[in-house]
Chains A and B, each alone.
Chain A
């Protein structure tokens, strides 16, 4: 029962996507073109995210650590 309602929900979501982007009105070859373009762009964005996001996060983390680290050293010397 749960699988059936989940499948219905996914089909409804797909219908909404079709209606919003007007691919419901397109001829089959236009739909093919549109979906190919969209899926290609999505795959490229995900691939870029996969490669670069960990590097960006670790760089940002290091930067903030460096900032906080310097402050900590300064306060330590003052107390001494």
Chain B
């Protein structure tokens, strides 16, 4: 696992680039202020000039002067299923990315390296699509209710039983949205008087869930077991801040694969620490389920550990299964508790039936229960592709972060102009 140091020259030149753009940003702001140039971003109305200024902070300055220059690299509309190749709608901007117009042309067959479609189950033809289409004609698309009212279909029960078998846990529950699985279930598990130890680089959904719960949050350095152990020791020895009472619960929040760095959590060490200090572990396998491990069962299988060691196994169906939604797996008492007390179960609409069928079909395919070896072949092909891709990029001289086995490959570009140029040249220059 490597986070290569930035070369000194590259760091200095990046600062030079940002410095030049900042200077030009000040110049452009000056021109907008004195009406030499038309102001095209949001400003306050004339009547609100004496109110608290809304657009003077650095974030808005950055937005106006730096982000807008390279804005055409993001939010690009695609018009086909995001498989290995994708079709993109062509858009042009005549005023340097302030407004976009569609030319009407569609750029076909762009190699897709950005989707989370790890095993290629997002297809428009194949067994998954046929099964989902049949369920769509049988059940319709809408559920129109929450899980606890009228939204509990037999498809959901089938899915949950399948997920529990897939993960090797006693029971599982599925939710409609992966982000909401984290942010709505962590408040149901911990509350005031509990301690959350969260990794530095955790996803926004975990951070939101931790903050909503009202528990005390302490951050340990990314994947750093000494930092985590120190925090655990302090928590056990000193207890709660003022009263010195012992913490009601200590929950460690980690992810299987971190989506921005491509690093894999040190699960054996975390589990050893968890057992030593008697705390609970919440593992978010959003990117690693289906993508790691010899048979795609996730980071627990990748390290050869038992799923019973992890108290709460959370994951999403969005990435490897080509559907939407999330799940939580664990002991039967835990899942029964969550069925009653989770915000998502009470208030959120349950999963749509065709989506459930997509998950069921793709999961059976990965497990091999549909009678073919397609799933296993895909998992192994993903591992080979990951290694090959990383090796070749390193040979070409790029700086790549993260673990050798993680399918998330961050390629460092550093300079702002290179980001814009790379994106444009990669997709519009004919291959």
Contact = CB atoms under 8 A, between A and B. Distances in A.
Interface of A: 18-27, 30, 34
B16 A24 contact: no
Contacts of B21: 22, 25
A24 B416 CA distance: 10
A21 B70 CA distance: 15
A56 to B, nearest CB: 29
Nearest to A27: B96
B24 A26 contact: yes
A38 to B, nearest CB: 10
Given A19-B415, A20-B415, A34-B20, 8 more contacts: A19-B417, A20-B13, A22-B20, A24-B417, A24-B420, A25-B70, A26-B69, A30-B24
Contacts, number: 38
A72 to B, nearest CB: 45
Interface string B1-27: 000000000000100111011001000
16 contacts: A18-B417, A19-B415, A19-B417, A20-B16, A20-B17, A21-B17, A21-B20, A22-B17, A22-B21, A22-B415, A25-B21, A25-B70, A25-B416, A25-B417, A25-B420, A30-B24
B418 interface: yes
Nearest to A20: B13
Majority SS at the chain B contact face:
helix
Contacts of B24: 26, 30, 34
B51 to A, nearest CB: 32
Nearest to B95: A27
Q: Which range contains the number of B residues in contact with the other chain? A: 10 to 19
Contacts of A30: 24
B417 A22 contact: yes
A23 B69 CA distance: 11
B249 to A, nearest CB: 50
B269 to A, nearest CB: 41
Contacts of A23: 20, 417
B95 to A, nearest CB: 10
Contacts of A34: 20, 24
Given A26-B24, A27-B96, A30-B24, A21 B16 contact: yes
B421 interface: yes
Contacts of A18: 417
A34 B23 CA distance: 11
Contacts of A20: 13, 16-17, 415, 417
A31 to B, nearest CB: 10
